[in-house]
Structure 1
């Protein structure tokens, strides 16, 4: 039996010519679309590549390439609403910075209905009325019925309370922008009056998310609703709770996944709550997105069932962080100009048609979309035709993107780096989908990683280089928990799943950019797993791109040019969330940390740090021993 072929599907990585929809480009028998590989006959007839059906046309069907996009106008403009959840339990200055950014960036360009929900220190969640603040809908976790119905996920209880007043009065529009600005200033004043308690605050994040989902579900079923949360800390009360209010008790850490600790049980209970909540509103078009300002964990790992769209979560040290301001600006630009909705994809083969189940219905940044697919091609030929049919829409147009290509049969590699990215995405998905964060599951995945090089053997494969890539995966937060919290690890895995091929590779093994006098341009160096000579050089300026961070390592030469290169990367709209940017001089503490990210441990480092992590030589020897034992 022929095993499936691995394939990285990146439908929007390159631009395609767009033309008006033409029904005659579609096969009348199997539904495949015309491609340049189809044979043409006289009398304007073309033969389907997949079923050999003859299709007639008034004119010969012409497309510019095997990748093209057909478009048609929509009867109705896609309706969209936004609900913002503001965590008001934070430092007043922090809230002031957030409100300032919202006023300067979002409200000035507001084109759609907006609702505001705040999380208050007292255990209250307030749905603010756009007309009269005295008619706000207040939900208190301190009330038995609110707490009980939240645990039961009883939407009707909350619907009744919201519908006591005309629900449209909870939505701000262009005519109420003045009231919206006034409300945001009032929220800041309330935070300034907050009292310090001996216990942690009653932060009811789960209640706020459920109320927002109920409100969104009462709007038009055809409308997409973005539920954008600005959070500062973990949920400590009600459904979704991940942390005790007692200051002496800590939040779950990596070691809690190794036993049946109370922290782990709380984590599983919270995850179950959000999973059931997602199922509750499965028929609604809700998009949950998170901006987090916290130096510590807030429980985003447990909220992962809600995070179904690409790049839906970003974390920063503070809302006063320039990275947050730039990320939020990019988020708005991507949402207004790049985001696509109602996405579906189907693969046509000579054997059958397969629906791509993991294709996200909404993508904020489609150019970075990269999906690992296993495609069964049959047995008959050395190469087999396949066709991707991806339908999507923006606010005014419907599209179908057609891409026809020949895939090699199974057991023929489609590139070592592609296989590495394919494996990274598969491992990350498996960990998140099965909530497999214990060391037992990690060891099982490690065994699969050791087997990978043997599965990609071929004439053109550099086996040592491939093993080096596997070693970088081993060192990354995909499989390593050293110096990484559960929330940080989840964010890394989420980024791997939703990142482009190049970003995945840089997250695993940072790209080192250096200026080439020969090419008169900046190039990526292939730095081996040794004490790279360039990192011992204090004259050369280099730029290190680690996917989620950019570091300018200043040397005596080309410092200005290196900074310009980093600025180019930072200003790229596709780099979302905004990478952390650091400048360091050679020999400093940050420079030593940078070297540790690029160059793996040797025996001396291992003894000095007292770590159990394998050096590359140990990893290579273990792989060799396992290969010989087979």
Structure 2
């Protein structure tokens, strides 16, 4: 277990693990009555100051391959350790002969369930000899000149920030695909591929002259960023490659879209990376400015009169390109996973670009995705820069990760929702039911970073109420091997224990409301994509009623007597906001936006995901310090500033009086210094939020009754609507024009239905 002082500040502690239920029901029947699935949220390589880095190889159990950990029973006299998973007795090797009760190795420290092994000996590790990470940039040129200039400017800055040992590749595309040879400074050399034809990896390698067996040299477009010419550094005719690049010159017929072959460009890029050494960390970084209309992966026809598919089209099966494009990106994702490479997508366009179709490849490879309106917008520019930053601001990008899970007897793994791919590793811990990436106890993560979070779903297989001879504790071990940003191979081992319990009282005390809300949101989003005609709102309501009926306290048929244990008190509110969120309500969002929101929901930490579901609101006023405010329309006041963080956007909302005083310039007068400070405080707090977030959120500064006030009003509980406008006018608050029920009405209905359901 994590040390108590760690738990107070960070719910994850050193484990990086949070579970829906701290204590687990003993039998399968009891587990089904819990309503909320037994699931764990794990951040595989979450940084922690107290993490022990061990410069030697881990000891593994000879039966189940679990790694030595602090929950093993140790016979110091006989130098034997007993595995808590399979109870196998294992002999310590001779170099552990000096251990004793007062001299234990780091992996047996009782308060540190996570340790990390450096696979290479740090003394022997040579950074210069480490595999060079590859960054292959793929740039769409089918856009207006201004947008292309913004994209080129971002690329120049990014390449200048790359580490000395990085390899750089460059592919541009429009109607055709151009692979740029970066090894020649005297003249430009470009390989051109037809954009209308599906190209295999072998064809790519053959055309680039890399198909000779055993030839593993860096291919065209692969250039060390630190030495010799690169796309944007040094002197000579070829160093201005990006400067020479112009918008796609292929003629566009009137009434037609640009011919853009995004799918073929990614096929070529994937094939090109296939020539690199196996195990080398590589990222394809796609900058795309519009929909694919040419070749495989197309999402819409060339005719401008045909709109890009909407949610309604997908529901009616009226999107002729969708299934074919999804299949194409699924196959592309499989190829990237087999190579161990990552697909990142930076999409900047006013129209859709196909994120909904690409989602499967992005998630399988653990790629990053950013959706913005323009390559000149801060959402794109600042997010793109964050990938290449080092130090505190670094994302901690890592490559070639694998996750393995070991469990106690009677626990089985149903699967994982998050950025990974099943490795189809069978074993006794594989459950019959599958959720997400299942049928395995091992997963591939081509790309991961310090905030990557996975949701693991477990099943209790025991049919007996209790096992008198069995242990009261259960154990789960997460083994994450990965290549860090320096090229070192690491193995993070996290072993956690929880208690088997029989009564519901112990269950209640161990309920984590935040994790439960995030798990239900990820599961609802997954079911909406996988199950045809799935009604997420109804499913969430049914489960919430069952939960309240099971764990609430009330007299039969008396809903006024209903009370909910404090351990569950916030959960109905989370579900109320989830029902109204962009994860469940797809109206007013495009399929691309919905896919983007869900990719981030599935990969971010619990604390970030909770903000996506239920935004945080802070109030600033003359008479008080900044303080959390209710996410309610009643929190709006003329003399108050509100700061809303909904993860994807940060809104600074000025009350009517504040806005008037600001417009009059009161903040510039010496006697109103306090007002100037009041205006400044939310700006500074907003910058703190933006600085630590990826993707960088959109900053919206608006006034009460202004057009952009909708960014705030859409997230607030509609306790005052046009039906109660008369009462609201007297308080100076605002009204929301909606027929949605308020939180209070929702809770009243919930209490009545929960009591009746019993």
Q: Secondary structure at the match of 1:136?
A: strand
Q: Distance in 1 between matches of 2:546 and 2:472?
A: 22
Q: Secondary structure at the match of 1:7?
A: strand
- Length-normalised TM-score, structure 2: 0.72
Q: Distance in 2 between matches of 1:257 and 1:24?
A: 50
Q: Is the 8 A contact 1:416 1:461 kept in 2?
A: no
Q: Secondary structure at the match of 1:128?
A: strand
Select between 65-74 and 291-300 the one with higher mean Cα deviation. 65-74
| 1:330 matched residue in structure 2 | 386
Q: 1:496 to 1:336 in 2, by over 3 A?
A: closer
For residues 262-273 of structure 1, what are the structure 2 equivalents within 5 Å? 264-273=319-328
Q: Secondary structure at the match of 2:714?
A: helix
For residues 252-331 of structure 1, what are the structure 2 equivalents within 5 Å? 252-261=309-318, 264-308=319-363, 309-310=365-366, 312-331=368-387
Q: Distance in 2 between matches of 1:234 and 1:605?
A: 43
| 2:201 matched residue in structure 1 | 155
Report the Cα offset of residue 567 of structure 1.
1.4
Report the Cα offset of residue 449 of structure 1.
4.5
Report the Cα offset of residue 300 of structure 1.
1.1
| 1:567 matched residue in structure 2 | 687
For residues 589-608 of structure 1, what are the structure 2 equivalents within 5 Å? 589-600=707-718, 604=722
Q: Distance in 1 between matches of 2:599 and 2:724?
A: 30
Q: Which has the higher helix share?
A: 1
For residues 24-63 of structure 1, what are the structure 2 equivalents within 5 Å? 26-43=60-77, 46-50=81-85, 51=87, 53=89, 55-56=91-92, 57-58=96-97, 59-60=99-100, 61-63=104-106
The alignment status of 1:224 with 2:281, answered yes or no, reads: yes
Q: Distance in 1 between matches of 2:401 and 2:336?
A: 19
Report the Cα offset of residue 594 of structure 1.
0.7
Q: Is the 8 A contact 1:293 1:316 kept in 2?
A: yes
Q: Secondary structure at the match of 2:356?
A: coil
Q: Secondary structure at the match of 1:367?
A: coil
| 2:668 matched residue in structure 1 | none
Q: Is the 8 A contact 1:349 1:377 kept in 2?
A: no
For residues 141-290 of structure 1, what are the structure 2 equivalents within 5 Å? 141=195, 147=197, 150=198, 154-163=200-209, 168-173=219-224, 174-177=227-230, 178=234, 181-188=239-246, 190-191=247-248, 197-198=253-254, 199-261=256-318, 264-290=319-345
Select between 247-256 and 403-412 the one with higher mean Cα deviation. 403-412
Select between 543-552 and 463-472 the one with higher mean Cα deviation. 463-472
Q: Secondary structure at the match of 1:306?
A: helix
The alignment status of 1:71 with 2:168, answered yes or no, reads: no
Q: Is the 8 A contact 2:411 2:461 kept in 1?
A: no
Report the Cα offset of residue 92 of structure 1.
0.7
Q: 1:615 to 1:134 in 2, by over 3 A?
A: same
Q: Distance in 1 between matches of 2:723 and 2:386?
A: 40
Report the Cα offset of residue 279 of structure 1.
3.2
Q: Distance in 1 between matches of 2:444 and 2:450?
A: 10
Q: Is the 8 A contact 2:171 2:221 kept in 1?
A: no
Q: Is the 8 A contact 1:86 1:117 kept in 2?
A: yes
Q: Is the 8 A contact 2:412 2:458 kept in 1?
A: no
Aligned partner (choices 451, 464, 474) of residue 543 of structure 2: 451
The alignment status of 1:387 with 2:477, answered yes or no, reads: yes
The alignment status of 1:584 with 2:702, answered yes or no, reads: yes
Report the Cα offset of residue 28 of structure 1.
4.9
Aligned partner (choices 576, 594, 597) of residue 492 of structure 1: 597
Aligned partner (choices 518, 536, 554) of residue 421 of structure 1: 518
Aligned partner (choices 85, 89, 106) of residue 138 of structure 2: 85
Over aligned residues, Cα RMSD in angstroms?
3.5
The alignment status of 1:545 with 2:637, answered yes or no, reads: no
Q: Is the 8 A contact 2:80 2:91 kept in 1?
A: yes
Per-residue CA shift, 1:297-326, capped at 9, x if unaligned?
Answer: 111101122112446110111111122221
Q: Distance in 1 between matches of 2:114 and 2:337?
A: 33
Q: 1:45 to 1:141 in 2, by over 3 A?
A: closer
Report the Cα offset of residue 256 of structure 1.
0.7
Select between 43-52 and 65-74 the one with higher mean Cα deviation. 43-52
Q: Distance in 2 between matches of 1:209 and 1:297?
A: 18
Q: 1:317 to 1:418 in 2, by over 3 A?
A: same
The alignment status of 1:366 with 2:450, answered yes or no, reads: yes
Q: Distance in 1 between matches of 2:58 and 2:156?
A: 49
Q: 1:485 to 1:45 in 2, by over 3 A?
A: same
Q: 1:398 to 1:517 in 2, by over 3 A?
A: farther
Aligned partner (choices 460, 465, 469) of residue 570 of structure 2: 465
- Length-normalised TM-score, structure 1: 0.85
The alignment status of 1:20 with 2:54, answered yes or no, reads: yes
For residues 338-377 of structure 1, what are the structure 2 equivalents within 5 Å? 338-351=396-409, 357=422, 358=437, 359=443, 361-374=445-458, 376=460
Report the Cα offset of residue 82 of structure 1.
2.0
Q: 1:224 to 1:560 in 2, by over 3 A?
A: same
Q: Distance in 1 between matches of 2:188 and 2:683?
A: 52
Q: Is the 8 A contact 1:511 1:545 kept in 2?
A: yes
Q: Distance in 2 between matches of 1:227 and 1:551?
A: 33
Report the Cα offset of residue 445 of structure 1.
6.2
Q: Is the 8 A contact 1:446 1:474 kept in 2?
A: no
The alignment status of 1:128 with 2:180, answered yes or no, reads: yes
Q: Is the 8 A contact 1:229 1:290 kept in 2?
A: yes
Unaligned runs of 5+ in 2: 1-26, 32-36, 212-216, 417-421, 423-436, 438-442, 552-563, 659-674, 726-734
Unaligned runs of 5+ in 1: none
Q: 1:237 to 1:195 in 2, by over 3 A?
A: closer
Q: Is the 8 A contact 1:387 1:405 kept in 2?
A: yes
Q: Distance in 2 between matches of 1:502 and 1:447?
A: 24
Report the Cα offset of residue 101 of structure 1.
2.0
Q: Distance in 2 between matches of 1:24 and 1:185?
A: 51
Q: Distance in 1 between matches of 2:267 and 2:740?
A: 42
